[in-house]
Structure 1
Amino acid sequence: MILSHSKISNGWNVAVEAASIKQSRKWPELNTEEYNAAIRRYGECWSLADLLNSSESWPDDIACRQTEWLIDQLFPGNPRLSCGKSMHEISARSREDWRGHLAQQQFIVANTSRPRRFLVCAFDHGAATQQASMLKSLSELAPLVCVVHSGISSLEGWFFVQSLPKKRGRTFFGYATSVGANPANWPRSQPVRMPGGLRGGGLRQRIYHLNLQVLRNEHWAT
C-alpha cells in the first residue's frame, strides 16, 4: 500500500536551512580545552562497546520493528510526526499513518509540539570513541535516551530536556556545541536521523544505546 504524501512545502525546507545557518552563528564554536578535558575523562573508558553494553535491550532484533517500537516509546499516543527519506521530502502525518513505514525513512523531526521534548546532539568531529565520550559527558547534564549512528561516521544522541527550564536547555546545548555538537540541530523543525532508519545507499542507522527509564518516569508521574 502506498500512502498519499502531504509534503511540507519547499518554503518550509528553505526556512529550516535558513534557521540552521542563523543558529550556527550564535552558538559557541569547538572549545579544544573543553573537548580535550572530556576526552581525558572518558576517552579510555567509554566507547561504542560501552554504549551497547550499558543499553537497555529492545524486544526485537529485526531493524524495522525496532524502529516502530522505539518511536512508540519516544512519541506515545498518536501525534503528528514529520519524517522523510531525504531533507527535501519531509511529510507530516499521524503516527498511525506512518506505522510500517518508519524504518524506510532517513529523517524525523524530534520536536513537533511545545514544550521542546528532545535535544538531539550530532557529532561529526573525531572518531566514534571520541564522540561517545562527548555523549557521556553531556549525559551528566541531561538524560541520554537514545544514540543513533548515522550509517557512516557520526553519532546522534537524543537527550530528554522537557523537564529542564528553557534557560538550562540553552546552556546545555551551548556546552554541547563547545565540545563539537552540530549547532544546526537547535531549531525545533530541524530533521535528525531516524533511529534505525535507512540512509541513502541502503545503510541502516543503527541504534547503539537506549535508556528509556526517564520516559517511563514521566508516564508514571502523569
Structure 2
Amino acid sequence: MHIPPDIEWRVSAGLTPYQEAVTEMEARAAAVAAGQARELVWLLEHPPVYTGGTSADESDLCDPRFPVVRTGRGGKYTYHGPGQRIGYLVLDLAKRGRDVRCFVHALENWVIAALARSGVEAFAVPGRVGIWTMDGDAQAKIGAIGVRVKRWVTLHGFSVNLSPDLSHFGGIVPCGISDSGVTSMKKLGINMGQETFDMDLALTFPPFLETLSCPRQKEA
C-alpha cells in the first residue's frame, strides 16, 4: 500500500461500538488540529445502530428496532451494522485546499473507484449525496456519505454495503430518501470480504488525496 507516512491507516477487527468510535475520532481530530497527531483513515464495523445527522427528521424513524444516536455529521438518518465497511477520515483540510464541497466530491469518487475494482459500476446522483448503482432496472444506494469539518479537520466519512442485513434499513427512511431502495454487493451477486475491499480502498486512496485540492484552490 502506498499510504503516506503522515497518515495512519487503521483497520479494526470485530465490531466497534458507535459512540466509542465517535469519542476516539473527535479526540484524534482535536489532536490533528493542534498538530499533535497524524491524520487517520479508520476502517471498521459497528454493531446495529441508527445514526441521525444534523438534518435528521424524526418522521424518518419508522421502526427504530436498534439504538438511535444523534451525531454531528451532516445528513439524515442512516443504518450501520455488520457487513458494512465504515471508513472514518480525520484529515487536515487546512493543508488540502480548505474546500468542503471538493472533499465530499473527492470522497464520493474514491468510493466509486474502489467499487469499480470490486466489479460494481457505481455513480453519484446530482442532488443526492451518496453512492448509487443499478439494482435491476432501478437505482439503489450502495454507500452513504456523511461528514463533519471542525477547525478544518474532517470527521466521519462513508459506509459501503458489502453484505449487511438489508431488512435492518426498514427501521428508517435511509438518508431521507423514500423513493429509492438500498442494495449491497451480496444482493448484486458479488461476495466481497472486508479484507479484499479494504485493499481496493487502499489502492485507490492515493488518487483521492491528489484530488483533494481543487484546481481553483491550487491556483490561489
**Do they fold alike, i.e. is TM over 0.5?**
no
- Normalising to structure 2: TM-score of the pair? 0.32
The structure whose residues are more often strand, as a share, is 2
The structure whose residues are more often helix, as a share, is 1
Higher relative contact order (CA 8 A, sep 6+): 1
